Structure 1
Amino acid sequence: MTQRSGSADLPLHGGRVPKWLGDRMTRLGAVLCQAIIHHYGRDELLRRLAHPFWFQSFGAVMGMDWHSSGITTSVIGALKRGLTPLSGELGIHVCGGRGAHSRKTPHELEMIGERVGFDGAALATASRLVAKVDSAAVQDGFDLYLHGFIVTDDSRWVVVQQGMNGDRRQARRYHWLSEGLKSFVDQPHAAIEGERQGEIVNLTDRRAEASRSGQLDLLRQLGPDRIVHEFAAIQPATASAKRDNAQPMLPNLVMPAHHDVRESDIVMRRLHGNISAAIESGPTDFPELLLVPGVGARTVRALAMVAEVVHGAPCRFSDPARFSLAHGGKDRHPFPVPLKVYDETIAVMKSAVAKAKLGREEELAALQRLDGQARRLERYVTGPSLKEIVAGEFDQSHLLGGRSVFGPEPPPEGALPGGAKKSG
């Protein structure tokens, strides 16, 4: 996966992640990272985290609000809680966080450096520079409030940080990746997420090198007072002039303001492939997954999307909303979180990773085959509409331990004990 730039609109959402979901996000996030490291190595996990489309899908499959800025905070928090106890085994460390936690990042890096042997002071400097570039060198109207720094024992790292524009109720997420980074001030970002809003002063663009040098020369030669005077003289002409070398539009992932999941938010053929792989192939072709007690076709469907998060290529994550169909969302969009399914997913993944550590790859291999089967089936299968899929989830939500921030999901009106409906 190469470095890339992009942008997306992330609506600001308030509220907190409830403990019942936060605890599960911690466990699922950690075991998914273990599976990725087992298959592809630590560097690949960093590349995934530096990819804004994958990052959003990662949060959606864990039951967070699929389109909101809250995914950034909750995912970084879940990874810090889940991976810290495993840092000695995996060689990966999550530092920083939101607000006051972000300011502790340099100290955390120095402490970890003393413990594991890398240059913590140099990485602390990198952390400060990353924050300074996104707050000062890229003037886009977003004030930073979150800084997550994820580093491996061999000093490779990724930074995910986020700023907000309170007036517009929007957030922008910035991704940095140490792989291939040659300069902090010459196009260093792996990706930038956020809606394009007017002109952005981006002094990290390589085309701004002359501007950066010129600014230093002006400060030395003229001083700040003379610069202000000269700027006042040229401002009218500058305002009316057209730019001859306009910056091209960057690839843009738009996270819509609407909270409900719509068919326009999803590549339906991919969703039908996920569902078909679980229904048609899960019980017969993937018996290793079904050996975990209680696991049925609904859990295998969730596992098909989880497997895609582990194995999917970057192009597979252009529709993060689809991954919310695995475990729902805490605000009942697209449906309440089915806790029984969620817990079974965690159990399957933990079992697969634990056995893989002992050299028994059957369950992890089954998940990889499940992902491949979904991609093959999506070429020709059809299926129900999104409205029908969501309606079915709501009908059985109370049977699957459905829960949201509003509480446990009650049975639908007219439902009989055991889930059947009264006949007309």
Structure 2
Amino acid sequence: MKRSGSADLPLHYGQVPKWLADRMAKLGLAITESILVEYGQQEILRRLSDPFWFQSFGAVLGMDWHSSGITTSVMGALKRAINPRSKELGIYITGGKGKHSKETPAELMKIASATGLDGMELVRCSKLSAKVDNTAVQDGFQLYMHNFILTANGDWTVVQQGMRTEDKTARRYHWHSSNLQSFVEEPHTGVCGINQGAILNLTAAEAKDSRQGMLQLTLEKPELMMQEIQQLIMPRHHDVRAENVDLKRLGTTLWLAQENQVSNFEELLLMEGVGPRTVQSLALVSEVIHGTPSRFKDPARFSFAHGGKDGHPFPVPTMVYDETISNLENAVQKAKLDFSEKQDAIKALHTIAARAEKDFTPNNNFDQLLEKERNESWMYGGKTVFGDAKPPRKNKNNVQLRLW
């Protein structure tokens, strides 16, 4: 097994409101099923083991685009949605935050009993991944969350997170059982990050003597598991800024969502009747399902699908969110019956936008875009943890402020 990457995130507290948690579970399940139908179980594990994809996935689900809360909320939503259908889907999620993380061994043994997998080996892998991140590399982060995701074939991914209360930061660690690198099209061989002073790294060559002493106890070699390939470091600022987004890629998504674009492409004829705002969300969801690794280097862009619960970049448009879920669920169900036209139409949103990038020039009107989304949020049932979005104030001539 190997560590496939990590992510550094600002530590955020607070609860996910029920209106968002329920939608996250439904959309998370629909996206998972879409990937299963199109690419299979192994791809689910590879995606979850990639820190950039995971962050983009959380942003599409309406979580704060950069905060530590994405980890616990996304995994909690997936566990609630997937586990009741694990036998059908062939995907199982164990563990969780706090006391739930300690239930992982018992959950794995129960799954092993039902599937015939080697439960003791799964428990061993679960404990080792936690031991390495909590002990072998003492970087100041104490684990408080551990999720072990596995398939009916015994392949697995670990998503776990630690916190460092002194500077209010969290670090998420990703592990993958496969011998193949996650997203092989773009492998990373180095790690860069913010210098935060000296750490105790028991996987370093200089720590050989200390490590040998520990190995007498653990009978394992942490350095064989510490093949980290990716590290995502998120900024501390809460708002979404232009520098956080690939404006060319976002611009093509917005261009595709214009009123007249659906009828311009034969591949999108089945999208007729879907509003332009929903097309915008579906295009970003399509990329999460079908996009290649290089397209997830700016996770903030995916918050333009369904906003964020704290209002960044804008309130969650619940009506659009529900339409996205409905369209994706409908496509998945038809694909299972060998009617894949709807699934193909959603996939085409991503491919058409990707093709258009070559000749697309963004207008650099990012601030105007944010203002437009916020002004119109109330029209789409916009919500945040602070309440419902309100219509924009009117100016002295009693005309509603509109930027586009």
Give TM-score, length-normalised by structure 1. 0.83
- State whether residues 92 and 150 of structure 1, in contact with CA within 8 Å, keep that contact through their aligned partners in structure 2: yes
The 3-state SS of whatever aligns with 1:97 is strand
Aligned counterparts of 2:215 and 2:283: Cα–Cα separation in 1 = 57
- Residue 174 of structure 1 deviates from its aligned partner by 0.6
Equivalent residue, structure 2, for 1:10? 9
Q: Which amino acid aligns with 1:165?
A: R
Q: Tell me if the contact between 1:288 and 1:366 (Cα under 8 Å) persists in the aligned partners.
A: yes
Partner of 1:102: 101
In the other structure, the counterpart of 1:45 is 44
In structure 2, the partner of 1:240 is none
Residue identity in the other structure for 2:326: A
Aligned to 2:306: 327
Closer/same/farther in 2, CA of residues 209 and 258 from structure 1, 3 Å limit? closer
Root-mean-square deviation (CA), in Å?
A: 2.9
Say yes or no: does 1:263 pair with 2:242. Answer: yes
1:369 to 348, 355, 370: 348
Unaligned runs of 5+ in 2: 181-187, 218-227
| 1:399 corresponding residue in structure 2 | 379
Change (3 A) 1:180 1:217: closer
Distance 1:306 1:215, change over 3 A: same
Structure 2: distance between partners of 1:111 and 1:287: 47
Change (3 A) 1:193 1:305: farther
1:77–1:216 Cα change, 3 Å: closer
Counterpart check, 1:34 vs 2:14: no
Corresponding residue for residue 310 of structure 1:
289
Instruction: Give the Cα separation in 1 of the matches to 2:290 and 2:401.
Output: 43
**CA displacement at 1:180 relative to structure 2:** 1.5
Indicate how the Cα distance of structure 1 residues 366 and 155 shifts in structure 2: closer, same or farther if over 3 A, else same.
Answer: same
Does structure 1 conserve the Cα–Cα contact (< 8 Å) formed by 2:191 and 2:229? no
| SS of equivalent to 1:411 | coil
Offset, 1:6: 4.8
Cα 1:252–1:107 shift into 2, 3 Å? closer
What's the offset of the Cα at 1:278?
2.3
Equivalent residue for 1:66?
65
Change (3 A) 1:126 1:254: closer
Change (3 A) 1:208 1:150: farther
**Partners of 2:147 and 2:304 in 1: CA distance:** 27
Look at both structures and tell me which one has the larger radius of gyration over its CA atoms.
Answer: 1
The worse-fitting range, judged by mean Cα deviation, of 120-129 and 165-174 is 120-129
Q: Give the equivalent residue in structure 2 for 1:22.
A: 21
CA distance in 2, matches of 1:121, 1:5: 23
Aligned twin of 1:197: 196
SS in 2 for 1:367: helix
Q: Deviations over 1:146-191 (max 9, x none)?
A: 000001001000000000000010001110000019xxxxxxx999
User: Given the superposition, is the C-alpha separation of residues 272 and 19 from structure 1 closer, same or farther in structure 2, using an over 3 Å criterion?
Assistant: same
Q: Provide the aligned length of Structure 1 versus Structure 2.
A: 381
Question: Which one of 213, 216, 222 corresponds to residue 215 of structure 1?
Answer: 213
Going from structure 1 to structure 2, the CA distance change for 1:337 and 1:149 (only over 3 Å counts) comes to: same
Q: Equivalents in 1 of 2:74, 2:178: separation in Å?
A: 22
Q: Of the candidates 391, 395, 404, which is equivalent to residue 411 of structure 1?
A: 391
Alignment of 1:238-387 (within 5 A): 252-279=231-258, 281-285=261-265, 286-290=268-272, 295-384=274-363, 385-387=365-367
Q: Deviations over 1:97-148 (max 9, x none)?
A: 0000000000000011111221122211221121111111111100000000
Aligned counterparts of 1:299 and 1:350: Cα–Cα separation in 2: 14
Distance verdict in 2 for CA 1:213–1:339, change over 3 Å: closer
CA positional deviation for 1:312: 0.7
Q: 2-side partners of 1:102 and 1:192: how far apart?
A: 28
The answer to whether the 8 A contact 1:195-1:252 is kept is no
The amino acid across from 1:61 in the alignment is: V
Partner of 2:126: 127
> Residue 405 and residue 155 in structure 1: after superposition, are their counterparts in 2 closer, same or farther (change >3 A)?
same
Q: Secondary structure of the equivalent of 1:104?
A: helix
Deviations 1:219-255 (A, max 9, x none): 9xxxxxxxxxxxxxxxxxxxxxxxxxxxxx9864331
CA drift of 1:324 comes to 0.3
Question: Is the deviation greater in 383-392 or in 191-200?
Answer: 191-200
User: For structure 1, which segment, 49-58 or 383-392, has the greater mean C-alpha deviation from structure 2 after superposition?
Assistant: 383-392
Are positions 1:152 and 2:131 aligned together? no
The whole-number CA distance in structure 2 between the counterparts of 1:160 and 1:139 is 18
The CA deviation at 1:379 is: 1.8
Please tell me whether the aligned partners of residues 4 and 49 of structure 2 are also in contact (alpha carbons under 8 angstroms): no
The 1:304–1:135 alpha-carbon spacing in structure 2 relative to 1, beyond 3 Å, is same
Matches within 5 A, 1:105-120: 105-120=104-119
Name the TM-score, length of structure 2 as normaliser: 0.87
Distance 1:191 1:162, change over 3 A: farther
**Residues 61 and 305 of structure 1 are in contact (CA less than 8 Å); yes or no, is this contact kept in structure 2?**
yes
Q: Is the 8 A contact 1:159 1:177 kept in 2?
A: yes
Contiguous gaps of at least 5 residues in structure 1: 182-188, 220-248
Q: Counterpart of 2:169? A: 170
CA distance in 1, matches of 2:191, 2:63: 21
